[in-house]
Structures are given as C-alpha cells and as structure tokens.
Amino acid sequence: MNDAFHALIRGERAGFVPAIQRAGLWGLSLGYGLGVGLRNRAYDRGWNKVHKAAVPVVSVGNLTVGGTGKTPCVEYVARFLRQLGLQVALLSRGYGSEVGRNDEALVLEENLPDDGFQHRRLHRDLDLVLLDATCPWGYGNLLPRGLLREPIGGLKRAHAVIVTRCDLVAPEQVQAICATVARIKPGMPIALSTHRPAQWRNASEQVATLESMKDRPIAGFCGIGNPEAFRQTLVKLGLNVVGWRTYPDHHAYARADIEALRTWAGQLPAECVLVTTQKDLVKIRVDRLGDRELWALQIQMQMPSGQDALEELLRGIAAGGSKCNEE
C-alpha cells in the first residue's frame, strides 16, 4: 500500500473526490466485514474443521495489514525455544514469495543459522498477536477503508499481546493501547517491546557498528509495511538522512528497480551510504548500488515490560502443553 492510499484512509486528503473515495472504500469494507464475521463464526461453532498438528504450534500474527515488526518477534520466540532445547520449524504464509521463499523467511534464515492469526484452519497452542504502537488499530476501519484484517474484538482469541515499537510513540499512547486490550480481554498478558538496532550488515555477511555511519550522509529506501517506522529509527540513531524512497510492502525488486536505484544513488553526494532493511537486502543481495555502499540495519526485539509473562507461556509450550488450551 502506497503513501497516497495511507493518506487517503487517514483522512489527510481533503476535498470532494477523496471524500467520495473514502465512502466507496467504507462500502466495500462492509462486505469484507460480513465475510470475515461469517468465517470466524464458522470456526467458532465448529462448522469449519481445525487441524491439530502432532507438535505444539505457536502463532505470531496481527490484526492489521502492513508491518508490525513480526520478523524480529518470530526470531525472539524461536531463539528462546531453542534455548529450552526445542527444535524449531518456521512456517510462513508466503507474502511476496512468487518465486522461492519470501523476504521474512530469508531474513530469519540469515539470523537463525538453520532452519497468522487469521489462519484458523491450523490449531495453535499459543496465539501471540502484535500491535504496532504507531498504528495499532488500522485507522479504525476494516479493509479496504482501513487496515484491519478483522474487528479488534478478535483479540479475544489471543493468548497474549505484544505491543511493538513502543519507543516511537508517547507513553500515554502505549497506555491507551493497553487499556483497550484489557477491555477486550481482561487479564490477558501484555508485553511492551521495542525494536532496537543491533548492527549494520551487508549482503556479504560483513557487519559494522551502528556508530560507523554517523559521520556520513545516509540515503534510505525500503519496501515494508511501515516505512515511516524505519525512517524514524534512522533519525533516532542520529543519522543525517539526505535521501528517501519507499516501495510497496513485500516489494519484489525487478531489474528496472535496481537500475533506478543505481541512477538515484549516482545523484547523491559522493560520500553518501545507501541503507535499507534486511527484508529488502535479502532480495537485492548486492553490496553496492553503483559506486555507493549498501547496508541493512539488523533489528532485535527487546521487552522492557511483560517479558516474564510471555516467557512463562513459552515455557509451558516447551513442557509439552499450555495452560492456554484450558480456556
């Protein structure tokens, strides 16, 4: 989804034509909501069959389309379960994977050296739902009028909520999100998390410290669900961002895109460095664009609040069961 569409559904585009467009999208969202409601009811009443795997299943999902920081969270959960002695297999729904594995799977493969919430056909022993603090409720509307995949009441099915990118908004906004979750499902564990930059990494697996880029102008680009969150992260690192480009979420870079980036890079200051996300770099897989270095920012999840409660649930999975299933 591009910036123009987000501006439209946020209400930032004023005038008669945008108002008519939003009304049309709202009408479409009614039909979408009806379909989602019927589907969920079919699963809730047992009309649709749920398949139970022979091993425990942990789902990391979200309520909205776009980026909520799922990849760092999956990496965190997988590492924790491995430390408990479990063999972990990762399954992805495959967005952006017309050919081969998708970008999320490729990043996890790099960061975990070996190898969704709405997918209700598979029984899960633990349902973790991510809420992006910068846009937790998808602008308050279902697709396509907003970004919600289903009504926020769907959180009643979750076993725990993780609010991501809490460092990018005011504490009052985080508190409001937690209060809403508590109203929907009282007593459900809520963890607060931040996405902390760890280091720079290029396609040749070389690494560089975060400080190594601070004295050089930076030009960034990305094709992720929440590009503004990535830009804010660069700014918070104290970097001098002199150029910026965005692509749709899960963008598959074609030859024309690479050539356009090379042309763009050639117009930047000679000492400029290109930076992107790991999800973008794994699809480009070059160290340079033109004569400009290309680095990706490696992100790790940290939890200043709620980590103990989340890890208790994961230990229940490792022990061969979960209190979640007793609900």
56 touches 88 (CB < 8 A): no
Q: Are residues 70 and 110 in the same domain?
A: yes
For position 214, what pLDDT does the model report? 93
Say how many domains are in the chain. Answer: 2
For position 325, what pLDDT does the model report? 46
Q: Are residues 245 and 139 in the same domain?
A: no
Q: Which amino acid is at 320?
A: G
What one-character DSSP code corresponds to residue 20? Answer: H
Q: Are residues 207 and 280 in the same domain?
A: yes
For position 6, what pLDDT does the model report? 84
> Which H or E element spans position 235?
helix 227-236
CA dist list (Å): 285 to 64, 106, 201, 237, 247: 29, 11, 11, 24, 17
252 touches 282 (CB < 8 A): no
280 touches 203 (CB < 8 A): no
- Consecutive 10-residue runs of the chain (327 residues): their mean pLDDT? 82 94 97 96 94 93 88 92 91 55 69 69 94 95 96 97 94 98 98 95 96 95 90 94 93 95 95 96 94 95 96 93 46
For position 92, what pLDDT does the model report? 75
25 touches 92 (CB < 8 A): no
Instruction: With respect to residue 6, please indicate whether it lies within any of the assigned structural domains.
Output: no
For position 263, what pLDDT does the model report? 97
CA dist list (Å): 4 to 12, 40, 223, 247, 251: 9, 31, 15, 12, 17
> In terms of Cα–Cα distance, which of 226, 203, 204, 208 is closest to 218?
208
What gap in Å lies between CA 207 and CA 196, rounded to an integer? 16
> In terms of Cα–Cα distance, which of 72, 126, 81, 71 is closest to 313?
126
Q: Are residues 189 and 313 in the same domain?
A: yes
What residue spans of 121-209 are helical by DSSP H?
Answer: 171-184
Instruction: Look up residue 110 and give its two tokens.
Output: 């790099």
203 touches 284 (CB < 8 A): yes
Q: Are residues 213 and 171 in the same domain?
A: no
Instruction: With respect to residue 318, please indicate whether it lies within any of the assigned structural domains.
Output: yes
For position 46, what pLDDT does the model report? 93
What one-character DSSP code corresponds to residue 214? Answer: T
Q: Are residues 133 and 275 in the same domain?
A: no
210 touches 199 (CB < 8 A): yes
For position 323, what pLDDT does the model report? 45
Instruction: With respect to residue 10, please indicate whether it lies within any of the assigned structural domains.
Output: no
Instruction: With respect to residue 27, please indicate whether it lies within any of the assigned structural domains.
Output: no
Q: Are residues 176 and 308 in the same domain?
A: yes
Instruction: Look up residue 250 and give its two tokens.
Output: 């899960």
Q: Are residues 260 and 306 in the same domain?
A: no
Domain that holds residue 267: 196-299
Q: Are residues 95 and 236 in the same domain?
A: no
Q: Are residues 289 and 246 in the same domain?
A: yes
For position 90, what pLDDT does the model report? 86
Q: Are residues 178 and 238 in the same domain?
A: no
- CATH number of the structural domain spanning residue 182: 3.40.50
Q: Are residues 151 and 108 in the same domain?
A: yes
